[in-house]
A and B are shown apart, each in its own frame.
Chain A
Amino acid sequence: MSKKRKSLRDLIGSVVSYTLILILVIWVLFPFYWAAMTSLKSPAEWLTSTLIPFLQFQPTLSTWIQAITLPEVLHALTNNVIIATSSATLAIALGSPAAYALARFRYERWKNKDIAIFILSQRMLPPAVVVVPFFLMMNWFGLLDTQIALILVHTICNLPFAVWILREFFLDMPKEYEEAALVDGCPYLTLFLKIVLPLSVPGLIATWIFCFIFSWTEFLFVLVLSYSNSITLPWIIASGMHTRGIEWGLISTHTLLAVIPPIIMAQVIRKYMIRGLALGAVR
């Protein structure tokens, strides 16, 4: 009797949790679905609340073709790739030695913890505080509206983060190889380049993707520091294609175009993604 009741309870329990999961999934994915449907509609139907393709409206790829053949969109996409790739790489190049040093050496005057916290706390500076000085700096150096300006700025946004995740990663790495190499008199730089970096490829890739995604989606600094040459996809999306009224289909297409690469990349590093977003707070 009690066994039966328990299994009934379990059944109700799993029905409840699967219903919740279903609601959650619909809630999370519906906006993307809506954008996808809008991108498949013809301009006359952009502002109608039809939901199901073929049944309620005839899907067409014309908006997609129009969107990806626009020269400025291709230009922005290229910029996105160049800026995100370079700034992620630069953040790793500057961040990994620092992260390694914080994980393995001991500092006396300022403790390791203090240095790490100091670096991470730079990430918390509100962008509003540095908008004006960044604009002036780039203006002085003649870098306004160049990809270099955005690469430099996105790198500084990512660097604290990169140091933080990589430090955790190096702390988790066994020290045996490094100790053996040190006994053999291997200099630190060789040790780092030849032993540590190859061993930490998964962590480096995860961090790189993290930085890439940030740079790919960043908007405020792109808006302040560029106006035509170095614009990125978020800039295009925000500008809204206003020439003939708001072109909802085009905007939806561009949004999906911007959203898809990070989503695919994030799945590769899902485990690190959550830890990274939490700044290691769960441990």
Chain B
Amino acid sequence: MAGSTPFFMCDEKLPIEKYAKYLFLLPCLIYVFALTIFPSAYSLALSFTSWLFLRTEQPTFIGIGNFVELLGDERFWVTLSNTLIFVFTAAALELIIGLALAVLLSRETGVHKVLRAICLTPMIATPVGIGWIWRMLLNATYGPINRLLNLVGLPSVAWLSDPSTVLLSIVVIDVWQWTPFVFVMLQAAIQSLPKDPFEAAQVYGASKWQLFRYLTLPMIAPTMVVVYLLRLLEAFKVFDIIFTTTGGGPGYRSESITMYTYYITMKFWSLGYASAAAYTFYAIILVVSILLFDRIRRRMR
């Protein structure tokens, strides 16, 4: 694939022209180095130190002390399990609902363009604002969702203050926000499939289910994997929505890892410990990142 794209030749040029290809790339790489590679390396170094900002002048090296403390910190484990439950439930629901919608709505309809435009809105809306809106919708006494439940004879649920439903509520918000994305992506994938295999299969009397199971599904599987991994990776960073819906509560039953590190940083000012927590979290999601980038690399031009 890469071989089909001829590149420019750089010889027979002014001396500076020889370096043009590096000079074009350099500003970007310097910026990336200064604001990502350096900070993350610095943070890694900090994770082996103890530093109470504003109270102690300098970080002191304590080896793996932070990591040991982290493993014994109940709050870390709760936030980690919260994050994992949230991420895998939300991504799975988004994939299933998104796929169902994409298959059922795979035919081009008159309102298609409008539908896509509408589907874009939740994912570009300011997440902190979305958190507030959903806090109104899920309000135990006045919220329309409980009103709807009452209407069909079900009791009200204290969505955001009951420890047993709070994570589910956050999942619902994420599903609301990102299912349209999965739907739009998978629909595009289905519409770009070649028509011939489907026509051939129909001639031989294949049922709709068979068409889906043995043609559509295997052909869009690679896209599904990428979309799924992308959703996992983005969902791991969840912060804004939880911040305005529950603030991590009740207790820390809906706190995500990112919130946990935020609180350690900005409330306890324990910078070394916060870095250690962030890096432990990073190590966990690195697996997902590597899987995703492997897929992207293979499909790259």
Chain A contact residues, CB within 8 Å of chain B: 13-14, 16-18, 20-21, 24-25, 27-32, 34-35, 38, 47-49, 51, 94-95, 97-98, 100-102, 104-107, 112-113, 115-117, 119-122, 124-137, 152-153, 155-156, 159-160, 163, 168, 171, 175, 178, 182, 187-189, 192, 213, 216-217, 219-220, 223-224, 233-234, 237-238, 240, 248, 251-252, 254-256, 258-259, 262-263, 266-267, 270, 273-274, 277-283
Task: Quote the shortest CB–CB distance from A238 to chain B (angstroms).
Answer: 4
CB-contacts of B7-60 with A (<8 A): 7-8, 10, 14, 17, 20-21, 24-25, 27-29, 31-32, 35-40, 42-43, 46
User: Do B278 and A129 have beta carbons less than 8 Å apart?
Assistant: yes
Which 6 pairs of residues, A with B, have the shortest CB-CB distance?
A255-B129, A133-B39, A98-B28, A101-B24, A105-B21, A106-B7
Taking the complex as formed, is B233 at the interface, i.e. its CB lies under 8 A from any CB of chain A?
yes
A135–B25 CA distance with the chains assembled, in angstroms:
28
Residue of A nearest to B271 (CB): A132
> Can you sample 25 A-B contacts with CB below 8 Å?
A16-B104, A20-B104, A24-B115, A28-B121, A31-B122, A48-B142, A98-B27, A98-B28, A119-B28, A119-B32, A128-B237, A129-B281, A132-B46, A132-B265, A159-B32, A187-B20, A219-B239, A238-B128, A238-B244, A255-B128, A266-B124, A278-B230, A281-B295, A282-B188, A282-B189
* A113, B297: Cα distance in complex, Å: 7
A100 touches B24 (CB 8 A): yes
User: Interface-forming stretch among B160-168, B176-184, B194-202?
Assistant: B176-184
Cβ-defined contact, A234 with B128, below 8 A = yes
Contact A117 B240 (CB under 8 A): no
Q: Are A274 and B184 in contact (CB under 8 A)?
A: yes
Residues of chain A lying within 8 A (CB to CB) of residue B35: 152-153, 155-156
Contact-size category for B: 35 or more
* Whole-angstrom CA separation of A136 from B261 in the bound complex: 15
Contacts of B88 in A (CB 8 A): none
Bound-state CA distance A155–B34 (Å) is 12
Q: Does B246 interact with chain A (Cβ within 8 Å)? A: no
Residue in A closest to B107 when the chains form the complex, CB atoms: A17
B294 CB to nearest chain A CB (Å): 10
Query: B residues within 8 Å of A by Cβ?
Result: 2, 5-8, 10, 14, 17, 20-21, 24-25, 27-29, 31-32, 35-40, 42-43, 46, 101, 104-105, 107, 109, 111, 115-130, 132-134, 136-137, 139, 141-144, 147, 176, 180-181, 183-185, 188-189, 192, 223, 226-227, 230, 233, 236-237, 239-240, 243-244, 257-258, 261-262, 265-266, 271, 274-275, 277-279, 281-282, 285, 289, 292-293, 295-297, 299-301
Partner of A277, one of B21, B123, B265, B277: B123
From residue B188, how far is it (CB to closest CB) to chain A in Å? 6
Q: Which of B257, B293, B295 has the most CB of A within 10 A?
A: B293
A129 touches B296 (CB 8 A): no
Instruction: Please name all residues of chain A whose beta carbon is closer than 8 Å to the beta carbon of B17 when the two chains form the complex.
Output: 187-188
C-alpha spacing A49/B244, complex, angstroms: 21
B31 touches A156 (CB 8 A): yes
Instruction: Tell which of A127, A130, A233 touches B126, judged by Cβ atoms closer than 8 Å.
Output: A233
Could you say which residues of chain A place their CB within 8 Å of the CB of B240?
219-220, 234, 238
B129 touches A258 (CB 8 A): yes
Chain A: CB-nearest residue to B41: A133
Interchain CA distance A191-B146 in the complex, whole Å: 62
With A159-B28, A254-B129, A277-B123 given, name 4 new contacts (CB 8 A).
A17-B107, A113-B300, A155-B31, A237-B128
